[in-house]
């Protein structure tokens, strides 16, 4: 039996709880929301390019006069675009395509695997490989990235599961995994083909992914090499004329076709600061890149 005084106290407590209930409910909702809406940690495995308030270089202004129609300059420490000009416009990428060719090949093949050349590949830049020559995958990667050899690209592709078609499919799958929205590949060499395209932005993402692989990063920074086979030595000279001549240049990849014009993706390390310069549709890729590099670092002094 509840006494009158106890009953009055109970009713009083119920009244207090009833008045507090909306506040308690609101507080509980805020606590739950804080856990549901809390942002997850960024996926650092992907070479994302995001704005940030803490870039090591200032945003660039007053660019020099260059012929390149498409430009992207990134602060590598933050992935912050320091300068952009038509960087998301689709264009023929030429031999900058070979960066993703190298990524697909390096992912699948053992570097010491020996591959026999099955035919001649007369179209475009090559190192003159002949049917019957035997090379390791590592040697083919050097030919691919140092001398931009089309024959090396085709040999790697035809020895992939599903042959050339399977290799190109893997190139596009890799592009999708990197969230490249304006890139599509139809061949492993970068020769002009309608429907084969990329952008200065997407190629920068591919370059960043390549540079994360220490073996490929070493290859693209190589000025000269010799690929020796039992049949013949092949002397390789890097197509990138800035390597060894412009302070801080560490690679990455050149490209040229009549329709694409000249292209160049370049990693530069000066004053403890790294930038990536991606230019397409140039009439003077090396001169343009030199001027852009000088501008970047003079503007950051």
Q: Is residue 14 part of a domain?
A: no
* C-alpha span between 20 and 250 (Å, rounded): 66
Among 6, 120, 134, 148, which one carries the catalytic annotation? 148
Question: Which of 291, 241, 293, 288 minimizes the C-alpha distance to 267?
Answer: 293
Which CATH number does the domain housing residue 277 bear?
Answer: 3.40.710.10
Q: How confident is the model at residue 63 (pLDDT cuts 50, 70, 90)?
A: confident
Domain count, the chain: 1
Q: Is residue 180 part of a domain?
A: yes
Q: Is residue 228 part of a domain?
A: yes
Task: Respond yes or no: is residue 15 known to be catalytic.
Answer: no
Q: What is the DSSP string of 139-195?
A: HHHHHHHHS--HHHHHHHHHTSTTHHHHHHHHHHHHHHHTT-TT-B-S-SS----TT
pLDDT digits (tens, 9 = 90+) for 149-207: 999 999 999 999 999 999 999 999 999 999 999 999 999 999 999 999 999 999 999 99
Instruction: Tell me phi and psi for residue 270, to 5 degrees.
Output: -140, 150
* C-alpha span between 72 and 180 (Å, rounded): 15
Q: Is residue 16 part of a domain?
A: no
Task: Respond yes or no: is residue 169 known to be catalytic.
Answer: no
Confirm whether residue 253 is marked as ligand binding: yes
Q: Give the range of the structural domain holding residue 252, as residue numbers without chain letter.
A: 70-299
pLDDT at 299 over 70: no
**Prediction pTM value:** 0.81
pLDDT digits (tens, 9 = 90+) for 235-277: 999 999 999 999 999 999 999 999 999 999 999 999 889 999 9
Question: Which of 190, 224, 220, 191 minimizes the C-alpha distance to 207?
Answer: 220
Q: Is residue 278 part of a domain?
A: yes
Task: Respond yes or no: is residue 19 known to be catalytic.
Answer: no
Q: Is residue 15 part of a domain?
A: no
Among 95, 221, 263, 282, which one carries the catalytic annotation? 95
* C-alpha span between 75 and 49 (Å, rounded): 10
Residues 77 and 268: beta-carbon distance below 8 Å? no
- What pLDDT is stored for residue 145 in this prediction? 98
Q: Is residue 56 part of a domain?
A: no
Answer with the residue of higher pLDDT: 81 or 60: 81
Residues 3, 5, 9: CA angle, nearest 5 degrees: 115
Q: Is residue 32 part of a domain?
A: no
Q: How confident is the model at residue 18 (pLDDT cuts 50, 70, 90)?
A: low
């Amino acid at each position: 039996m509840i006494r009158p005084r106890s009953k009055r106290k109970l009713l009083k407590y119920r009244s207090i709880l009833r008045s507090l209930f909306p506040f308690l409910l609101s507080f509980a909702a805020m606590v739950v929301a804080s856990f549901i809406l809390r942002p997850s940690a960024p996926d650092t495995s992907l070479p994302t390019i995001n704005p940030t308030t803490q870039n090591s270089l200032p945003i660039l202004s007053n660019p020099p006069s260059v012929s390149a129609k498409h430009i992207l300059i990134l602060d590598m420490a933050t992935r912050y675009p320091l300068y952009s000009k038509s960087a998301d416009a689709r264009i023929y990428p030429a031999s900058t395509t070979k960066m993703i060719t190298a990524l697909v090949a390096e992912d699948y093949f053992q570097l010491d695997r020996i591959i026999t050349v099955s035919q001649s590949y007369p179209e475009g830049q090559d190192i003159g490989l002949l049917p019957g020559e035997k090379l390791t995958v590592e040697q083919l990667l050097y030919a691919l990235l140092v001398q931009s050899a089309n024959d090396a690209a085709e040999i790697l592709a035809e020895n992939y599961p599903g042959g050339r078609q399977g290799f190109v499919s893997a190139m596009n799958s890799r592009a999708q995994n990197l969230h490249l929205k304006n890139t599509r590949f139809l061949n492993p060499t970068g020769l002009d083909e309608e429907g084969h395209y990329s952008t200065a932005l997407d190629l920068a993402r591919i370059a960043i992914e390549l540079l994360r692989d220490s073996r490929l990063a070493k290859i693209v920074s190589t000025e000269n090499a010799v690929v020796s086979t039992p049949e013949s030595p092949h002397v390789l000279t890097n197509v990138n004329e800035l390597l060894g001549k412009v302070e801080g240049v560490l690679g990455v990849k050149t490209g040229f076709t009549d329709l694409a014009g000249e292209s160049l993706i370049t990693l530069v390390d000066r004053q403890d600061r790294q930038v990536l310069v991606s230019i397409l549709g140039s009439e003077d890729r090396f001169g343009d890149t030199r001027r852009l590099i000088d501008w970047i670092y003079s503007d950051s002094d």
